[in-house]
Structure 1
Amino acid sequence: MLNRYYSEFSLTSVAICLFFVLISQGIYAQSLPETVSKITEHPRLLLLKGEENAIRQELQKDTVRGRVNRAILTECDLILTQPPVERKMIGRRLLQASRESLRRIFFLSYAWRITGKEQYFQKCEKELLAAAAFEDWNPTHFLDVAEMTLALSIGYDWLYNGLSANSRDIISKAIIQKGLNPSFDPKYNGWLRGSNNWNQVCNAGITFGALAVYEQQPELSGKLINRAIESVLIPMKKYAPDGNYMEGYSYWAYGTSFNVFLISALEKIFKSDFGLSKQPGFLKTASFYEQLTGTSDMPFNYGDGGGPEGLQPAMFWFAEKLQDPSILYIEKENLLSSRFHVKSNRLLPAVMLWGRAIPVDKITVPTTLFWAGVGENEVAILRTGWDKNGIYVGFKAGTPSLSHAHMDIGSFVMDAEGVRWSADLGMQQYNSLESAGLDIWNMAQNSQRWQVFRYSNPSHSTLTVNGHHQSVKGRAKIIARSSDPQHTRAVIDMSEIYNEDLVTAKRGVAITGRKYVNVRDEIETGDSECTIRWAMLTPAKVKSIEGAQIHLVNKGKHLKMYIAGIEGAVFKTWSTDPPNNYDAPNPGTTLVGFELKVPAHTKKSFNVILAPGNEKMEVKNINLTALNEW
Structure 2
Amino acid sequence: MKKIILLSLTLFVTLALRAQTFDYGKIESHPRLLLKKGEEAGLLKKISAHPELQRVHDHILKNCDKFLSEAPLERKLEGKRLLDVSRSALKRIFYLSYAYRMTKDKRYAQRAEQEMLTVSAFSDWNPAHFLDVGEMTMAVAIGYDWLFDVLQPSSKQIIRQAIVAKGFDPSRDQRYNSWLKADHNWNQVCNAGIAYGAMAVFEDEKVAAIEMLERCMKTIVLPMHAYAPDGAYPEGYNYWGYGTGFQVMLNAGIESAFGTDKGLSAMPGFLESARYMEYMTGPTGASFNFSDAREPGQANVMMSWFAFKLKDPSLLWVERQYLQRPELSVGENRLLPCMVIFGIHTTPKAVHAPASKVWIGKGVTPVALVRTNWNAGEGLYLGVKGGSAHTNHAHMDAGSFVFDALGVRWAMDLGLQEYYSLEKEGVDLWNRSQQSQRWEVFRYNNFAHNTLTLNDKLHRVDGFALLTKAFTKPDTLGAAFDLTTIFKDDLEKCTREAVIVQEKFLLVKDILQTGDAPATIRWTLVTAATPSILNPNTIVLTSGGKKLHIVVESATKIDLKIWSAEPTHSYDAPNPGVTRVGFETRMDSHQKNTLQVKLIPQP
Cα deviation 1:430-483 (Å, max 9, x = unaligned): 111111111111111011010000110000000111110000000010111120
What is the rounded CA distance, in whole Å, between the counterparts of 2:537 and 2:354 in structure 1?
38
Offset of residue 15 of structure 1: 5.6
Q: How many angstroms does 1:523 deviate by?
A: 0.7
Instruction: Determine helix, strand or coil for the equivalent of 2:594.
Output: strand
Counterpart for residue 20 of structure 2: 18
C-alpha contact 1:413 1:421 (8 A) present in aligned 2: yes
Matched, 1:390 2:392: no
Q: Which residue of 2 aligns with 1:436?
A: 425
Distance 2:69 2:330 in 1: 16
Q: Map 1:468-547; keep pairs closer than 5 Å.
A: 468-547=457-536
Shift of 1:216: 1.5
Mapped contact 2:301–2:330 kept (Cα < 8 A): no
2:34 aligned partner: 46
In 2, the alpha carbon distance for the partners of 1:17 and 1:539 equals 59
Residues 131-186 of structure 1 deviation map (CA, whole Å, 9 limit, x = unaligned): 11110000011000000000000011111111111111111111111011111111
1:346-377 CA-to-partner distances (Å, cap 9, x unmatched) read 11111111131211221110012111111111
Contact between 1:295 and 1:392, CA under 8 Å: does it hold in 2?
yes
CA distance in 2, matches of 1:396, 1:508: 11
Change (3 A) 1:550 1:15: farther
| Alignment partner of 2:101 out of 113, 130, 138 | 113
Partner residue, 1:346: 334
Q: Which residue does the alignment assign to 1:621? A: none
Matched, 1:276 2:278: no
Q: Which moved more, 1:538-547 or 1:357-366?
A: 538-547
What is the DSSP-based 3-state SS (H/G/I as helix, E as strand, rest coil) of the residue aligned with 1:162?
coil
Where in structure 2 are the equivalents of 1:156-167 lying within 5 Å?
Answer: 156-167=144-155
Question: In the TM superposition, what are the counterparts of 1:213-224 in structure 2 within 5 Å?
Answer: 213-224=201-212
1:16, distance to aligned residue in structure 2 (A): 3.6
Deviations 1:396-437 (A, max 9, x none): 101111100000001000011221110001111111111111
User: 1-side partners of 2:453 and 2:593: how far apart?
Assistant: 15
**2:593 is aligned with 1:601:** no
Determine the structure 2 residue equivalent to 1:127: 115
* Preserved CA contact (<8 Å) 1:36 1:271: no
Aligned residue for 2:486, secondary structure, equals: coil
Q: 1:92 to 1:185 in 2, by over 3 A?
A: same
Contact 1:105 1:124 in 2 (8 A): yes
Residues 1:82 and 2:67 are matched in the alignment: no
2:545 pairs, out of 528, 551, 556, with 556
CA distance in 2, matches of 1:581, 1:381: 35
Deviation for aligned residue 1:338: 5.4
Distance 1:344 1:241, change over 3 A: closer
Assess if the C-alpha contact under 8 Å between 1:250 and 1:309 holds in 2.
no
SS in 2 for 1:587: coil
Q: Does structure 2 retain, via aligned residues, the 8 Å contact 1:68–1:338?
A: no
- Separation in structure 2 between the aligned mates of residue 339 and residue 603 of structure 1, nearest angstrom: 52
Which of residues 199, 214, 222 in structure 2 aligns to 1:211?
199
- CA distance 1:356–1:13, change in 2 (3 Å): farther
Cα distance change on mapping 1:190 and 1:334 into 2, 3 Å: same
Report how far residue 129 of structure 1 moved.
1.0
Give the letter for the 1:170 counterpart. Answer: I
Give the whole-Å Cα distance in 2 for the aligned partners of 1:446 and 1:283: 37
- Cα offset, 1:130, TM superposition: 0.9
SS in 1 for 2:365: coil
Alpha carbons 2:229, 2:362 under 8 Å: kept? yes
Length-normalised TM-score, structure 2: 0.95
Whole-Å separation in 1 of the counterparts to 2:253 and 2:95: 18
Q: Distance in 2 between matches of 1:141 and 1:269?
A: 28
Residue 380 of structure 1 corresponds to which residue in structure 2?
A: 368
Query: Deviation digits for residues 526-558 of structure 1, max 9, x if unmatched?
Result: 222211110100111125533211211223322
The one of 132, 136, 144 equivalent to 1:148 is 136
Which amino acid in structure 2 is aligned with residue 497 of structure 1?
Answer: I
1:131-530 superposed matches below 5 A = 131-308=119-296, 310-337=298-325, 340-341=328-329, 345-387=333-375, 388-530=377-519
8 Å contact 1:389–1:418 — kept in the other structure? Answer: yes
Asked if structure 1 preserves the Cα contact closer than 8 Å seen for 2:61 and 2:99, the reply is: yes
What secondary structure, in the 3-state scheme, does the structure 2 residue paired with 1:329 have?
helix
Aligned residue for 2:20, secondary structure, equals helix
Give the CA deviation at 1:105.
0.9
Other structure's SS at 2:142 match: helix
Q: Check conservation: 2:52, 2:320, Cα contact below 8 A.
A: no
Gaps of 5+ in 2: 1-11
The letter of the residue matching 1:495 is T
Distance 1:67 1:412 in 2: 35
Deviations 1:369-394 (A, max 9, x none): 11111111111112322233211100
> How far 1:309 moved relative to its partner?
5.0
Deviates more, 1:347-356 or 1:396-405: 347-356
Comparing 140-149 and 562-571, the one that deviates more: 562-571
Separation of aligned partners in 1, 2:401 and 2:468:
17
Q: Which consecutive unaligned segments of at least 5 residues does structure 1 have?
A: 1-9, 20-31, 615-630
* 1:97 matched residue in structure 2: 85
Distance 1:363 1:12, change over 3 A: farther
How far, CA to CA, are the matches of 1:343 and 1:306 in structure 2?
11
Aligned equivalents of 1:459 and 1:593: distance in 2? 12
Q: Which residue of 2 aligns with 1:28?
A: none
Shift of residue 576, structure 1, vs aligned partner: 0.6
Amino acid at match of 1:68: V
Asked whether the 8 Å contact 2:509–2:597 carries over to 1, the reply is yes
Separation in 1, partners of 2:540, 2:422: 36
Equivalent residue for 1:22? none
Q: 1:568 deviation in Å?
A: 3.9
Using the size of structure 1 for normalisation, the TM-score is 0.91
Alignment check: 8 A CA contact 2:160 2:201 kept: yes
Q: How far does residue 55 in structure 1 lie from its aligned partner after superposition?
A: 1.5
Superposition CA RMSD, Å? 1.7
CA distance in 1, matches of 2:589, 2:556: 18
Name the CA distance, whole Å, in 2 between partners of 1:347 and 1:428: 24
Q: Structure 2 CA distance, aligned partners of 1:220 and 1:175?
A: 11
